[in-house]
Structure 1
């Protein structure tokens, strides 16, 4: 099975760091919208595809724009929510990475399915500041869930740190921030 991790398009929170990282619930920029539209050409979806999406506005918008007009299954899961990379236990979740409320997601993205197998704590806190051991447990559970979907490939719209954390988990290699995918870039991982 292939997991194709796609980083969301450019978000408002990336325009003027570090101050812009304190924007709560940032949307895609016009550039990010164009990047999401370009995904339609670069990675065309079909009605039989499965897309798993982080519960953050910019990832939801990326998936919505990319899959517009395609009746593929879209599942929102906190197991692919933002993750700090590298992990520093003294760091706290920034306002730009706070998970959206499930009711708000359902209201704004009614065609998306809210994943129900994760704990309420995971839906509130996500994986941003979980320890490496906790992430490995959650990550392995996510990979197992993906394998149960009986798909040759699953698309995951997520974040640079999350994607890099899953790359490390699946490859047993060490990566750095230099290995982050670019906005609307993708990484194919074989499981």
Structure 2
């Protein structure tokens, strides 16, 4: 089974968690606490048989994935299909050129200039994206050795589960997507 990992705490999560107010922070980085969460996640993932990571192109997921990848010596593939459901300011991403400047070791060539969508994504659209992800993963011969660093909304769309930062869940690719 594929593992789904929610990214570590971002600056947006830190503020929204206590205020429940969107502070208008696009594509936020991890906090110091988030960096520590990602480091601790490495030990929980060490014996899960992960051989490769797929990461959403947001800064928070890339930072989380890079911490895990460095510790476990894993390659990372960036895939906008596993991005967050665009609904808050934190869901506005960064252009590929900016991401490539920050992380030249990663390949952002498959990203559109605005890869995150421009409006609030409908639940129907998220459901279609989740179905496309399931279909894509079923075709991968190494799907049982892949961990995906993604987001609360995308993981909820795939599994119905609401994960905390750096929690992970196994995805049964045969099950239908659940948005409830």
Unaligned runs of 5+ in 1: 85-92, 168-174
Mapped partners of 1:163, 1:146: distance in 2? 14
| 1:129–1:108 CA distance, 2 compared to 1 (3 A) | same
RMSD over aligned Cα atoms: 2.6
| 1:48–1:187 CA distance, 2 compared to 1 (3 A) | closer
Q: What's the counterpart of residue 75 of structure 1?
A: 77
SS at match of 1:22: coil
SS at match of 2:156: helix
2:145 paired with 1:153: yes
SS at match of 1:157: strand
Aligned residues: 169
| 1:80–1:146 CA distance, 2 compared to 1 (3 A) | same
| 1:67–1:79 CA distance, 2 compared to 1 (3 A) | same
Q: Aligned runs of 1:121-160 on 2, under 5 Å?
A: 123-125=115-117, 129-151=120-142, 152-160=144-152
| 1:78–1:113 CA distance, 2 compared to 1 (3 A) | same
Mapped partners of 2:166, 2:133: distance in 1? 22
| 1:164–1:46 CA distance, 2 compared to 1 (3 A) | closer
State whether residues 22 and 88 of structure 2, in contact with CA within 8 Å, keep that contact through their aligned partners in structure 1. no
| 1:181–1:46 CA distance, 2 compared to 1 (3 A) | closer
Q: What's the counterpart of residue 13 of structure 1?
A: 12
State whether residues 95 and 113 of structure 2, in contact with CA within 8 Å, keep that contact through their aligned partners in structure 1. no
Q: 1:26 aligns with which of 22, 25, 28?
A: 28
Mapped partners of 2:126, 2:50: distance in 1? 29
Mapped partners of 1:115, 1:77: distance in 2? 10
Q: What's the counterpart of residue 105 of structure 1?
A: 99
Mapped partners of 2:33, 2:164: distance in 1? 13
Mapped partners of 2:121, 2:13: distance in 1? 23
State whether residues 14 and 21 of structure 1, in contact with CA within 8 Å, keep that contact through their aligned partners in structure 2. no
